[in-house]
Structure 1
Amino acid sequence: MNALIRELLDAKAAEEAARERRIAAETALLAELQTDKAEGSTTYKLDAYKVTVTAGINRRIDRAVLAHIRADMSPALFKRAIRWIPEVDVTGLRYLQNNEPDAYRVLANAITATPAKPSVKVELVAALPTAA
């Protein structure tokens, strides 16, 4: 078991080191290309390579602020800029499953549930015995 855990930890360390090298290489390449486009794609044709840089801006909603200002906007303009995406509230879904089975059966027709990838967390809690 210790060998499998050590193998997992070594693989995670190698993965992190590879990720750091990739990010450093991307950063150096971006500096050489001197791209400053905030959004969109720019393609560079360089010798045997074609490099496409895609830039974007992450935007997040402050739901509390949005709830207050929604009434101040026309519904048409609001819908033009804000898209409501249904998402499962697992706590509420479990409540229906346990307490309102008829409602749950109806709602379950619209929900597809698939197993998620298991997460493995390893913490060293004691010194490993040394091999003799």
Structure 2
Amino acid sequence: MSDPHAIVTELSENECWALLVAGEFGRFAVAIGSRPEIFPVNYRASDGSILIRTAEGTKLFGVGVNDEVAFEVDDYTATEAWSVIVRGRARVLESPAEIAEAERVQLRPWARTPKTRFIRVDAAEVTGRRFTFGSETELAYV
């Protein structure tokens, strides 16, 4: 049982996946050489992986250069916030069967531009934290 007065609590892997599955918008991070790049993306999460639809460009290039990536999603309410980070290996889907399966997910781009490529991030590590809001004066009474 978690401490109801805890300011920061670790989320279980199951809690992290529940939040990932419920979300639609996150940030995808790649490293090209020593330069990190991060992109806002819409996504779908299921079966231990994250699916991203994209166009030709830096995300695809980055995955080709270094397949070790990170993905982050978070949200907040008036009383708390949470953040989930996925670290893993990314690959561009190439086979017709993989692409057909990805298209069945109906992951539509926000921008009305052609995005015909898919990246799948296979999770190696999933971590998350929940933050309870409050004032500093409340800390004196915990």
Same fold (TM over 0.5): no
Larger Cα-atom Rg: 1
Normalising by structure 1, report the TM-score: 0.20
Normalising by structure 2, report the TM-score: 0.19
> Which one has a larger percent helix, Structure 1 or Structure 2?
1
> Which one has a larger percent strand, Structure 1 or Structure 2?
2
